[in-house]
Chains A and B, each alone.
Chain A
């Protein structure tokens, strides 16, 4: 039953004269700004910002929070997003004044603790990935992809190799991969997957040539499958003079089991907001450090953090650097959380994380196969893809089943991605979920599969219990209303 009524916009709660914060009275001589500010700079139309009391404000945002599902609210098996538990100590540590209230342009000797944390985090990420050096500058995964590709471009150009214009991406790749290639000035070329869900080696050989700048790969890939022929692929790319780029979105599957650096990858980005528990924040902020092998170190974004005689400093004199990709030194606050997490786990802990993540995914996959089409039968890594194409024949789409899951308090899996599997559902449980949670979710999904056969309307018309029903997205896009306007 839908019971919750519309939640007013904060602007609709507003009444002139209400405040929820008071600045101290001005303690320096006052001046009349209307007289003092030149006419052209003196703002006349005041911005319409809310006017509410402090309790009104808290009630408003509390009401909004109740209309939102997070990992702490319930299971969130959103494939490829690694929605694991966000440890609370991370949040506490990131708020220590010595981390939260330091300015990026303070003299280096006044921020040695911050630099030491960054340095240690870099070293730990070097160890996990098997790369030679790491930069913490990129703000998110896509930003890291672009940073890595810019470095690869700089590397080729430094070798006088200006004709390497193509970046190869698998058809199962996340949309950011081809988009990052374009924004870095490359042309994206697609390589096909084979019937096992892995990169088709023959097709790879066909698309690789002297124009190839790089191959971008997630391993395990977006189907949750390990690219078993990775060393052969690395050889094909390297023999053609290209570089191998590792999209670390799926690093949660292989920590302590395999390292991109050992697989032949030259550049790696990590999503610290996935594997390393930075909270997803409703869409961000993330953090996307990039690791490189030795021959790409000269091209790292600057400044580069160095340790000398027990002290830390930034080195700016890096003539071959691609330059800055972000002001200052990256999303430091997220990096503090990731470092806190790594220290909470230690090396054995991280290995255990990946083992449990893979165990959970395989367990769910075996419980669900049968009721759903499992396009790839081999063991998966941390996530897997099932297809609802049998249910579609009965008139129920994967979207409907996803909406039905909402009725049971779950965030649905990723749907319709990767794009090479029809009516797919991509499930990533993560290691922080208990067997009971996995069982309950599987039971519900099997129940829904049964409903599709017996009572399809209940699925087609879902959700039935949320604060709002399915929204008219077509009108939203055709006649966009992107801001509140007073009636």
Chain B
């Protein structure tokens, strides 16, 4: 068949077969035993030509309510933020997106330098000394932090707050089972980790304590107090953090965290139904040689010129094989690039301003909902998310809201039975005062 991705002509094929010394391409497949050769036609959907394909895929896409045509108040780990136009222009440069892992540094300096810059930005935001080149996403990065902690402390107990993202906790459970580690979840009180319960759980078998900051309910956990409890027992302090929030909030690195992880989705990465996003992984210098994934380092060439290389590879699976503590190979490099571009475009001032607008708009929204007669719960300090209590089901309300062009908040009852009919609402810098007012009115009116 002729196809635009397949350049081999009949004449080419004839010449190539002659060089190989066979009569047909089929001869090259004769090493596949007859009994397992596939005969017939794969039951794959039929070929579509480009105009048909565009129509078909557009139709599928149009069946989804998107956050550009609707006004979204849904967050819970994935946020609707401004994405500077330049981000897509950079990541659509095919020198970046059609390359692979920079194994040949002489022709990969662009990628290597861009990721070196990414590592620097993550170090700056988190207040940590070392950041890697990316992980799949925030939750798998958190799970890997658990594995690192267990390996480092030689202890088997992971403690995780229930104010950590429920899907992240589910991922941690699976990873921990793989390594025969135990996971203990600690309850919350008023939307914050219950410190008394936490203290009673931390013991000499504890590898690490995992806290989210801001937590799943949007609230700020008292990291300095928790840090004391954790380090008293010589466990590792692992904090999962929204990097945008760290543009304005004291970073975990300044509050004694050993490992800081999270997801860079708020910087330049569209929600795209949950992935690909971009995990980050940052540690103290002490843990530098234990970090999972790839690290880029600065060095010089034979003429003394500055250059960048993959480094400390002795940690990684392709060298250590079965002795490796992580099996990660492919990462999220292109999305790390997108986040770097977004952070550079926003810049020092813009990141801070964006974080501040999130705080201010979320607080305005909470006040407007209160005015509209909606009950709010939890009184802690919060970033861009907060919780309201409804009279009825969240699902029902969201069905009404979508009719009015709103994507409502997250149904906390899905993960916390005690929070049935509670909605987690996210308000980013993208929401205008008019949208917030209209949303408060709709939610108030529906109650």
Contact = CB atoms under 8 A, between A and B. Distances in A.
Contacts of A130: 38
A482 B288 contact: yes
A21 B298 contact: no
Given A57-B345, A85-B5, A471-B300, A282 B360 contact: no
Interface string B139-183: 110000001000000000000000001011011011101111000
Contact of A103 (B42, B115, B273, B318): B273
Given A52-B347, A98-B62, A323 B326 contact: no
Contact of B19 (A10, A117, A367): A367
A73 B254 contact: no
A285 B36 CA distance: 33
B445 interface: no
Nearest to B82: A23
B137 A139 contact: yes
Interface string B15-53: 111011110010111111101111001111111101001
Contacts of A230: 33, 36
Contact of A183 (B27, B179, B275, B303): B179
Residue among B64, B67, B175, B352 with the most chain A CB within 10 A? B64
B259 to A, nearest CB: 15
Interface string A103-140: 11111011111101100100110011010000000011
Given A40-B222, A57-B344, A228-B33, A463 B319 contact: no
A345 B48 CA distance: 8
Interface in A336-381: 336, 340, 342-353, 355-356, 358-360, 362-363, 366-367, 378-379, 381
Contact of A86 (B21, B53, B97, B308): B97
B216 interface: no
Given A49-B344, A142-B327, A226-B31, A41 B381 contact: yes
Quick one: which of A33, A123, A271 has the most chain B CB within 10 A?
A33
A363 B3 CA distance: 21
A14 to B, nearest CB: 8
B131 to A, nearest CB: 7
A281 B333 contact: yes
Interface string A411-448: 11010010000000000000111110000000000000
B443 interface: no
B295 A283 contact: no
Given A263-B36, A347-B44, A471-B300, A66 B350 contact: no
A467 interface: yes
A65 B53 contact: no
B136 interface: yes
Nearest to B74: A103
B305 to A, nearest CB: 6
A105 B6 CA distance: 39
Given A113-B62, A333-B272, A342-B44, A280 B99 contact: yes
B334 A326 contact: no
Contact of A340 (B53, B88, B139, B351): B53
B416 interface: no
A325 interface: yes
B331 A343 contact: no
Interface in B324-382: 324-335, 337, 341, 343-354, 356-357, 359-361, 363-364, 381
* Max chain A C-beta neighbours (<10 A), residue from B47, B109, B381: B109
B120 A11 contact: yes
B106 A470 contact: yes
A6 interface: yes
Nearest to A140: B330
A124 B45 contact: yes
A374 B291 CA distance: 38
A176 interface: yes
A28 B107 contact: no
B392 to A, nearest CB: 15
B72 A284 contact: no
A417 B8 CA distance: 29
A399 B137 CA distance: 34
Interface string A60-76: 11111111111111001
Given A6-B305, A68-B96, A348-B47, A471 B20 contact: no
A70 B97 contact: yes
Contacts of A128: 42, 44
A299 B41 CA distance: 30
B260 interface: no
Interface string A32-55: 010001101111111111111010
B95 A68 contact: yes
Interface centre among A27, A146, A153 (most CB of B within 10 A): A27
B206 interface: no
Interface string A71-96: 11100101001011111010111111
A19 B346 CA distance: 7
A145 interface: yes
A289 interface: no
A70 B86 contact: no
Interface stretch (B190-198, B228-236, B395-403): B395-403
Contact of A21 (B84, B133, B329): B84
A129 B108 CA distance: 34
Contacts of A403: 106
Given A20-B345, A47-B247, A331-B276, A180 B66 contact: no
Interface string A295-331: 0000001000000000000000000001111111111
B60 A117 contact: yes
Contact of A257 (B32, B46, B114): B32
Contacts of B94: 70-73, 86
For the complex of A and B, 7 pairs with smallest distance between CB atoms: A328-B274, A346-B47, A98-B61, A113-B63, A104-B274, A281-B334, A68-B110
15 contacts: A58-B89, A69-B99, A72-B95, A85-B5, A101-B68, A139-B276, A142-B328, A258-B38, A328-B275, A349-B3, A406-B107, A432-B5, A432-B7, A482-B130, A484-B116
